[in-house]
Amino acid sequence: MRFKRFMAVLSARNLEFLRDRSALSWNIVLPVLIVLGFAFAFTTSSQDLFKVGVYEQQKQAPGVEQFLQLQHIQFIPIDVIDSAIIKVERHQLDMLLDSSSGRYWINDSSANGYVLEQLLKRPADTSLNKQTVTGDAIRYVDWLIPGVLGMNIMFSSLFGVGYVIVRYRKNGVLKRLKATPLTAFEFLSAQVVSRLWLIVAVTSLVYAGTDLLVGFRMYGSYLSLLLVLVLGTFSMICLSLIVAARLSNEETANGILNLVSWPMMMLSGVWFSLEGSPEIIQQLALIFPLTHMIQAARAIMIDGESLLQVSDHLLVLIIMSAAFMTIGARSFKWE
Amino acid sequence: MSCILQVENLVKHFGPVQAVNGVSFAIERGTCFGLLGPNGAGKTTTVEMMEGILPSTSGSIQYKGAPADEDFRNEAGIMFQETSLQEFIQVGETLELFSRFYSRTRPLNELIERCALGEYLDRDVRKLSGGQRQRLLLAIALVNDPEIVFLDEPTTGLDPQARRNFWQLVNDIKQEQKTLVLTTHYMEEAYELCDEIAIMDHGRIIAQGSPRALLKKHFDNSVILLPASEVPASLDQDHRLKMHRMNGQVEILSEDVNATIELLMAQRIPLTHLQIRSRTLEDLFLELTGRGLRN
């Protein structure tokens, strides 16, 4: 490998990315917008968990006052009982209460309705002793940040390298490079390194900007997080090399890259936790590098875990990167 | 002169299609060798095998007496028929990029001056005109001060002035005793630039030699042209004239122009619009294949 040739391709690719204003701004703006959107959507002052419609509120029978004093339930006065029943049918209300006539309505298929029913008919205090703890709540936005950053890294890695190499092949850039002494290894290494540092830089910028706008938890070491970020990015860039190894059709590449990225986005825990999902789904998610990167990042950011504690994820990412790189480089064709 | 590149019995199949079918020739160092032929004749496939871009199905290509290796990549300059360059990169940066691929390079200032690129160094390569773009691609092909330069249809799509400017550049390269391999549709271009040509059709070489020698070998006559309306149909039967009508003109092949003109005058044919031209490579191609060069 000639370092001069590697550096030549690296600097040309960097220039191309930095001058492509639309792609660059999209890489920065999109994740910030997503996080801001979710921050507004999920960070509200109300902590109400249930909605209960109350008909003829003044005439409630004795015995339900205790229920009506419960916190985190939104009690909504109801004037017309028939239209309120329709709202229960449609899950717009979790319960409708008319204790003056001794009746309440819930939807049989509503979990919230079931819980409210238990609360309404709750037994007397048990002999259990209450213990309290204090601590800051983990907001959804705290939990979401590593996922959104990971998703952005995934798209940037897959499309920013895989799609670009396919485009180079289609329009003849690779053919022209093949006619020079540049080796495939030099070319691919430059593509990987170029995208790697750009993603790390852009993600750091997005991280700082989002923290400034929304503010989120970071209990671990920044250096550990950086290492997870670099390793995760590297593994996904290497994955894109497999897709880009031979294809010369952008539409096909687009389809395959979507086929690779969408399952990762849905199953790697970007938007929601997989803890309650079936075991097979949880196991399946472990084949994706994004899962390991997000889990390691969350463990560091939210739980303050050390590199040693997330070393299993790091090891998997290293093995995946090596395998993807080997397959991608060995199957690479200039044309 | 010694041979720099030798092609022996080169064959290339694309599935059932036989694009190149047993082509052999040798290129002398310091000459310009032209591959001519219509679209689909196999000339670009042949050149791309010589350049090492395409693998051959069979046959051999020897560069300086040995199979092409990394030395060839360092010593060859290539200008493809169609090339895209990296987007968002300027002309000067593109030259810099390619120059860093080679251990031996030509001073970029000299190349920039020679290819008249000085005004466009800061321009994005996507914003160049056709002529400017071809000059940049030629500069890239010369950036490693190559011993052999491949030019695949370098002037296709250029206006006549840009084409002639490009010929001047190629002639300058020839003056430096570099070997040139040129494929082209344009017979005038081949005649102007090439020391030797090979005409290809259906993947085979059907004629080879210097342009003048080929014309001399195949033609000992000139063409006399007259408007068809001024030549009576009765003359078509005159066995002393080899003539045929096409596109509103009568074309007479004459081995003795003076005698033919005297014959036409005797028949009281008006000669006001008479034209005489020598036989061209295009005539030669029609004669050999029955097809036009640009078909």
pLDDT tens for A223-235 read 999 999 999 999 9
The answer as to whether A126 is a domain residue is: no
Q: Do A15 and A109 lie in a common domain?
A: no
Tokens of A77: 């006065």
Average pLDDT along chain B: 89
Least reliable range by pLDDT among A49-53, A156-160, A310-314, B243-247:
B243-247
Continuous H helices in chain A: 3-19, 21-42, 65-68, 81-89, 111-120, 140-157, 164-171, 173-178, 184-213, 222-244, 250-267, 279-285, 289-303, 311-330
Question: What CATH number does the domain containing A101 carry?
Answer: 3.40.190.10
Q: How far apart are CA B189 and CA A37, in angstroms?
A: 64
Does the pLDDT value for residue B176 go beyond 60?
yes
Sorted by sequence, the CB contacts under 8 Å of residue B289 that are 6+ apart come out as B38, B201, B206
- Residue A272 has a pLDDT of 84
Q: Is the pLDDT of residue A40 over 80?
A: no
Residue B180 binned pLDDT confidence (cut-offs 50, 70, 90) = very high
Q: What is the pLDDT of residue A41?
A: 65
3 state DSSP class of A70? coil
* pLDDT greater than 60 at residue B174: yes
- Cα(B236)–Cα(B145) distance, rounded to whole angstroms? 58
From CA B80, how far away is CA B150, in angstroms rounded? 8
Tell me the pLDDT tens digit for each residue of A198-255: 999 989 988 988 888 888 889 999 999 999 999 999 999 999 999 999 898 889 999 9
Does residue B43 lie within any of the structural domains? yes
What is the maximum span of chain B, computed from C-alpha positions, in angstroms?
72
- Residue A139 — pLDDT band, cuts 50, 70, 90? confident
B35-66: pLDDT as tens digits: 988 888 899 999 999 999 999 999 999 999 99
Q: How far apart are CA A290 and CA A258, in angstroms?
A: 14
The span from the CA of B284 to the CA of B127, in Å, is 40
What does the alpha-carbon distance between residue A94 and residue B184 come to, in Å, rounded to a whole number?
80
Pair A269, A295 in one domain = yes
Q: Specify whether B186 is located in the same domain as B254.
A: no
Q: Which residues of B touch A167 (CB under 8 A)?
A: none
Q: Could you tell me if B129 and B246 lie in one domain?
A: no
Residues A81 and A198 reside in one and the same domain: no
Q: Are residues B119 and B158 in the same domain?
A: yes
Is the confidence at residue A67, as pLDDT, over 90? no
| For residue A188, pLDDT beyond 80 | yes
B190, B225: one domain: no
Q: What is the mean pLDDT of residues A254-283?
A: 90
B81 and B145 belong to one structural domain: yes
Rounded average pLDDT over B140-153: 95
| pLDDT on residue B217 | 82
pLDDT for res A101: 81
Of B84, B89, B140, the CB nearest to A171: B84
**pLDDT at residue B28 greater than cutoff 90:** yes
Residue B39 sits in a domain whose CATH number is 3.40.50.300
Residues A149 and A254 in one domain: yes
Over pLDDT 90: what percentage of chain A? 51
| Domain contains A335 | no
Say if residue B79 is exposed, middle or buried (CB neighbours under 10 Å; 0-12, 13-18, 19+).
buried
Across the interface, whether the CB atoms of A12 and B53 are under 8 A apart is answered: no
- Whether residue B87 and residue A20 make contact (CB cut-off 8 A), yes or no, is yes
Q: Is the pLDDT of residue B293 over 80?
A: no
Please give the ipTM for the structure prediction: 0.81
B146 plus B209 within the same structural domain:
yes
Find the CB nearest A172 among B83, B93, B98: B83
On whether both A93 and A216 belong to a single domain, the answer is: no
Residue predicted with more confidence, B268 or A58: B268
Residue A9 sits in the same domain as residue A75: no
**Which domain, by its residues, includes B262?**
220-278
HSE at residue B147, side-chain half, CA atoms within 13 A, is 14
Q: What is the mean pLDDT of residues B15-22?
A: 93
Q: Are residues A29 and A95 in the same domain?
A: no
Distance (Å, whole) CA A148 – CA A146 = 6
The band of B295, judged by pLDDT with boundaries at 50, 70 and 90, is very low
Residues 6+ apart with CB under 8 A from B66: none
CA distance A229 to A297: 8
Contact B152, B143 (CB under 8 A): no
pLDDT value of residue B77: 95
Per-window interface: B 135-174 vs A, CB < 8 A: 140
Q: Do A285 and A246 have their domain in common? A: yes
For chain A, say whether B63 makes contact (Cβ under 8 Å). Answer: no
Residues A38 and A73 in one domain: no
Domain residue limits at A305 = 3-42+139-330
User: With contacts defined as CB-CB under 8 Å, which chain B residues touch A9?
Assistant: 97
Whether residues B182 and B258 fall in one domain = no
B57 and B195, same structural domain?
Answer: yes
Q: How far is CA B206 from CA A34, B21, B149, B197, in A?
A: 66, 12, 24, 11
* Average pLDDT value for residue range A125-142: 72
Q: Which of A137, A170, A108, A141 is nearest to A271 (CA)?
A: A141
Confidence of residue A130 (pLDDT cuts 50, 70, 90): low
pLDDT tier at A43, thresholds 50, 70, 90: low
Query: Which is higher by pLDDT, A31 or A116?
Result: A116
Domain assignment present for B293: no
Integer Rg of chain B from CA = 23
- Residues A84, A156 within the same domain: no
Do A181 and A294 reside in the same domain of the chain? Answer: yes
| φ, ψ at A73 (rounded to 5°) | -120, 130
Shared domain for B145 and B191, answered yes or no, is yes
Q: How many domains does chain B have?
A: 2
Closest chain A residue to B104, measured at CA: A181
More confident residue, B126 or A40: B126
Reported confidence tier of residue B98, pLDDT bands at 50, 70, 90 = very high
- Mapped onto helix, strand or coil, the DSSP state of residue B255 is coil
pTM above 0.90, yes or no: no
> B273 and B211 share a domain?
no
> Count of A–B CB contacts within 8 Å?
63
Of chain A, the end-to-end C-alpha distance in Å amounts to 21
**Residues B208, B227 within the same domain:** no
As for how many domains chain A has, the answer is: 2
Residue B288 domain-assigned? no
Nearest to B53 by CA among B86, B96, B85, B82: B82
Interfacial residues of A (vs B; Cβ cutoff 8 Å): 4-5, 7-9, 11-13, 15-16, 19-20, 168, 171-173, 175-176, 178-182, 335
**Region of poorest pLDDT, from A40-44, A268-272, B12-16, B192-196:** A40-44
Q: Which pLDDT score, from 0 to 100, does residue B48 have?
A: 93
